[in-house]
Amino acid sequence: MIFRDGVFHADPHPGNFLLLADHRIGILDFGDVGYVTGPRREQLENLVIAVGTHDVDELTDTILAMTTPPAHVDIMQLRGDIDVWLRKYFLGDVAHLDVAAILTSWSQMMHDHKLVLPADLALLFRVMLRLQGLGRNVGTDVRLTELLTPYIRQILAERFDPHRIARRALRTARSWDHLIQTLPEHVQDAFERIRAGELGVNFRVRDVDGTVDRLVDGLFASASLLAAAQLIARKAGPTIGGVSLVGVAVVGGGITAWRRVVVNRPGHKSIAQRVLSISDLRANEA
């Protein structure tokens, strides 16, 4: 129902199942129903393939795509935790699966990495874990990988089906065609908004104490003095009386930058302030 129909019974406890005489299962009480959309189904297919083949990298990528992780998530640590979780709980048969431990460890892993499952996925995983618990209660010894193998084969066959590939290629081509047709209008609209002052980039650097400014001025002053020394020593033209004018100009730039560093130094006093301080000192002594 999950992988074929996209609509599934979301309350699979033993009281909602009947074993019919012709070896079929009757399902009761469809008051709780879950749905699987197209994009979500593709993610679930990736998840099933990853679990069935024990592909930790694919499983990690799929979980990240499902949960929209924060920017600071440690993917290497997450991959290691998923590897441990997968090996611990999904290598045995269904009868020996500890559903409570699976739920607890999964929830803890998601919490540790700040990952939140969408509501439809949370419902789906709850149903799948309940089904595993149901298999455990009836004493089945079928391995989970054996249950997933037919679906993995079916999914892979559908993915490489020429008709499906053609439909996806056609859909992609239509998307590109729509983008190419609407791109000039979007670009024109963006330029008009820029011209009208409605669109811009707000770039702001906070340097409250001016540390970055002083650092830049100091680097510029040092580089200017070194460059000026080379220019004057090599008498780089144009020159007057053998003195490089370019070197002198660079010296002036370096002195200006160095002066800014000195002036912005905490506790610095200008010449006028020093004169006033000396005058006030003498007045007080008098």
Task: Check residue 2 and report its DSSP letter.
Answer: T
Burial (CB < 10 A; 0-12, 13-18, 19+), residue 181, is exposed
**Structure tokens given for 34:** 């879950």
pLDDT of res. 205:
55
- Angle 119-137/38-53 helices, nearest 10 degrees? 40
**Whether pLDDT at 229 is above 80:** no
**Whether pLDDT at 208 is above 60:** no
Q: Are 59 and 86 in contact (CB under 8 A)?
A: yes
Q: Which residues contact 24 (CB under 8 A, 6 or more apart)?
A: none
Backbone angles phi, psi at 20, to 5 degrees: -85, 165
pLDDT tens for each residue of 184-204: 887 888 778 777 777 666 655
Residue 69 CA to residue 12 CA, distance in Å, equals: 30
Count other C-beta atoms under 10 Å from residue 225's C-beta. 16
pLDDT tens for each residue of 59-82: 888 888 888 788 788 888 989 998
**Whether pLDDT at 4 is above 60:** yes
**Whether pLDDT at 226 is above 80:** no
Q: Are 231 and 244 in contact (CB under 8 A)?
A: yes
pLDDT of res. 37:
78
pLDDT of res. 246:
75
pLDDT of res. 176:
85
pLDDT of res. 277:
62
Peptide bond into 14 cis (omega under 30): no
pLDDT tens for each residue of 123-141: 877 787 777 667 767 776 6
Task: Check residue 95 and report its DSSP letter.
Answer: G
Mean pLDDT score across all residues of the chain: 75
Residue 146 CA to residue 259 CA, distance in Å, equals: 78
CA distances from 131 to 172, 198, 286 (A): 37, 55, 99
pLDDT of res. 29:
83
Q: What is the mean pLDDT of the segment spanning 251-261?
A: 73
**Whether pLDDT at 106 is above 60:** yes
Residue 241 region, left (φ>0) first, then alpha (ψ -120 to 50), else beta?
left
pLDDT of res. 265:
58
